[in-house]
Amino acid sequence: MYMHVDMDAFFVSCETASRPYLKERPVVVATGHPKKGVVASASYKARKFGIKSGMPLYIAKSILPDIYIIQGNITKYAAISENVMNTLKKFAKDVEVASIDEAFMDITYYKNDPILLAKTIKKEIKRLYKLPLTIGIGPSKVVAKVICKKSKPDGIGMVKKEEVIDFMGSIKVQEIPGIGKKSAEILTKNGISTGRDLQNADTEYLQKLFGIRGIWFKRLAMGKDAGYFLTPYKDIIKSIGHSETLPYPTRDKEILMSYLLYLSIKVSKRAYRLKKMGRGISLHLRFSDFSSINKQKQISTYLYRYEDIYMAAKWLFNHIPIKKPIRLVGVTIHNLIPLDTHAELFSNKSTSDLLYNIYQKYGDFSVMPLSLLNINKLPKSIPPKVR
């Protein structure tokens, strides 16, 4: 038995938690330039007017001129997310964080009523953070995710084992997580438009259309986990990376170095949490014309501390000819091994160790290197949510 926990309009909810007077108004959190940005998150009241994530801000304003706009702060949302996920881990041993605002909880060994547990979790999250959330419960992750979406906002939904076939058979193929838009279009063109159609479809025919994914699609329609639902995130992680879209394209090296440092700290903190370190590093740059370049390097020692990650990323940056303004920067470490394997490398305390201890107690970026003030003055840019 699994729970899928999904925070409702997460970015907006993070903002309205401290400004309750906004809860009755249509609100959006915006990313990018104040005049040329896009909607990163919309409140449910705003969604009723057709405003949604990814919509250009000027269109949202044309639909609803008096809509309340808040410039997003991804650093704040990431810190709140981490606190929420840590709270969830108090209720289950196995919590798989799926994104900044959602997680799967394995409650197979929970002996009492799972609905009661869901109510307890919702009450605790609201007490601590004043954030609404929806919980779906089912005998597989895919079922829990589907019923969670159907129970939004601020609800609880549950599908029992004996109800799975009928429940999954009643939905459209595009509503099944793991089946993308193009795959759903191909299925529909071939007369497979519902979960029931997919349940009854010939397996060999599905394999001809999609290969191994055809088998996965049928399993998903049967309410069985397949594809990325099968393997916990912690077991398949092969790299650790973060990227950031700049508020506007720039060639200003001082600003770009600040972003490199910021991303290096983010990567290092995540490596610290996952107890990993890497032997390779890659730098991804996207330019103003949407062309991009990736450069990578193998390192003689393992990367874990932000100082080392930053120096390696800076070396890569200095070996890339910058002829156009940059709009996105990404830093990734790869060739990972467990941190404990070479723990002796980190026996001496560094600035990284001190920062992580502070962040754990007071929140991310509660203190920071002075050079990060270069990006603190700029509007924060929020990466799009991946589904």
d(CA 371, CA 355): 15
Confidence band of 387 (pLDDT split at 50, 70, 90) = very low
d(CA 213, CA 207): 7
282, pLDDT greater than 50: yes
Question: 219: which DSSP letter?
Answer: H
State the pTM of this model: 0.63
CATH topology of domain 1-115+123-137: MutS, DNA mismatch repair protein, domain I (3.40.1170)
Instruction: Report which residue type is found at 131.
Output: L
Reported as a single tens digit per residue, the pLDDT across 30-47 is: 887 767 788 989 999 999
pLDDT at 234: 47
Confidence band of 348 (pLDDT split at 50, 70, 90) = very low
| Mode of pairing for the β-strands spanning 68-71 and 27-31 | parallel
d(CA 72, CA 66): 18
d(CA 264, CA 287): 20
Q: What amino acid positions are annotated as catalytic residues?
A: 102
Domain covering 163-229: architecture? Orthogonal Bundle (1.10)
Extract the tokens encoding 15: 């903002």
Reported as a single tens digit per residue, the pLDDT across 283-307 is: 999 998 888 899 999 887 788 888 8
Q: Which residues pair with 38 in a beta bridge?
A: 31, 56
Q: Are 309 and 333 in contact (CB under 8 A)?
A: yes
Whole-number average pLDDT of the chain: 85
CA angle 211, 214, 219 (to 5 degrees): 140
Buried b (16+ CB within 10 A) or exposed e, 171-185: bebeebbbbeeebbe
pLDDT at 231: 55
Reported as a single tens digit per residue, the pLDDT across 243-272 is: 888 878 899 898 899 899 989 998 988 888
3 state DSSP class of 221: helix
- HEC states along 294-348? EEEEEEEEEECCHHHHHHHHHHHHHCCCCCCCEEEEEEEEEEEEEHHHHHHHHCC
Extract the tokens encoding 332: 């990734």
Mean pLDDT of 221-227: 91
Reported as a single tens digit per residue, the pLDDT across 57-70 is: 999 999 999 999 99
Residue 32's nearest CA partner among 81, 75, 73 is 73
340, pLDDT greater than 80: no
Mean pLDDT of 11-40: 87
pLDDT at 164: 97
Right CATH for 237-376 from 3.10.20.30, 3.40.80.10, 3.30.300.30, 3.30.1490.100 = 3.30.1490.100
Domain ranges of the chain: 1-115+123-137, 163-229, 237-376
